[in-house]
Amino acid sequence: MQEGDGSMASKDVPRDKRIVIIDRGYGTYDYEREVLEAAGYSIDIFRGHHEDVAGRIAFSQGAPGIMMRWTPIDNAFLDALPDLKAIVRYGVGYEHIDLEAASAHGVKVAIVCGYGNHSVSDHALTLLLSCMRGISLGERLFESTVGHPPRLDVMEFKDVTLGIIGLGRIGGTLSRKVQSLFGRVLAYDPYIPDEKFAEDGAIKCDLDTLLDESHMISIHCNLTEETTKLLGWEQFEKMRQRPVIVNTARGPVIDEQAMLDALHEDRIHSAGLDVFSIEPPFPKLDPLWKHPRVMATCHFAYYSQNAIAAVQRGAAERMLAMLRGETPPDCLNP
């Protein structure tokens, strides 16, 4: 995708009607303009360096609203912007925002949930199937594997037990999609009521059972202190089925060095990784993403034409609602 379209806010618009986008990445911002300009606000896009936090702070002076993706929002950032009233993060994760500090400063924070249920679950399923069939490895070994599989441990999907870690919107969507594809679906999520497991066609289990019985594991949990390095060496040792592991959630949910060791020791079949603890992952994580049994994409599981429209419009609608004093969906500190 192309980055922001370069449009700037009108100089005639008062500062308290100026909404700033401090992290670029979308092709255009027409959806935001459609929602916000109709209400008398303008859009202004920061065009500085990726790591220039001070520049972002200076750029945002006087603006009541910030829309962001990865910029760290901490107490010092908020201290410097006394006019700020609302922050919207494009997407679901909010680990970059100090929510306690935002609340202390009277700044409302919202995220955008639900937009990527199909795009992310589609991507996870693509990685699961591709890894099991050895598609990436077969491409690398194309000239030497004509007529022969790149590896022998390839299961038929009807015999597979899929384990889903995190049965929220995306994990639940994946579970419903694969009901006629895999033999059974296990799921681990201590925060989801029992009836949702039944609705999504998943068998509720603890994490150890999922690790022991699953031939494929797909990660769909949020990144929290509890889930950071949820899968480490201790967990890899419990994976009796040598599973395919797919992560389209957050990179730090996996101890990446432990995963690399597990790949080297053939404790897991392969991995499909869309997210990493460092992004972009090169060069520091080259040994992991370049491993022959890793299919790596670079954080675009969220993308589909429908999903992008939904997240951009949803972000603008949440911003407008908070500036009006309303509580929008996905507000983290109402």
List the catalytic residues: 250, 279, 299
Do 85 and 323 contact (CB within 8 A), yes or no? yes
What's the angle, vertex CA 107, arms to CA 102 and CA 110, rounded to 5? Answer: 90
Q: What is the DSSP string of 120-167?
A: HHHHHHHHHHHHHTTHHHHHHTGGG-TTS-S-S----GGGPEEEEE--
Collapsed DSSP state (helix, strand, coil) of residue 10: coil
Other beta carbons within 10 Å of 309: 13
Q: How far apart are CA 70 and CA 90, in angstroms?
A: 9
Could you say which DSSP state residue 332 is in?
Answer: S
Distance CA 118, CA 98 (A): 29
Distance separating alpha carbons of residues 263 and 188, to the nearest angstrom: 23
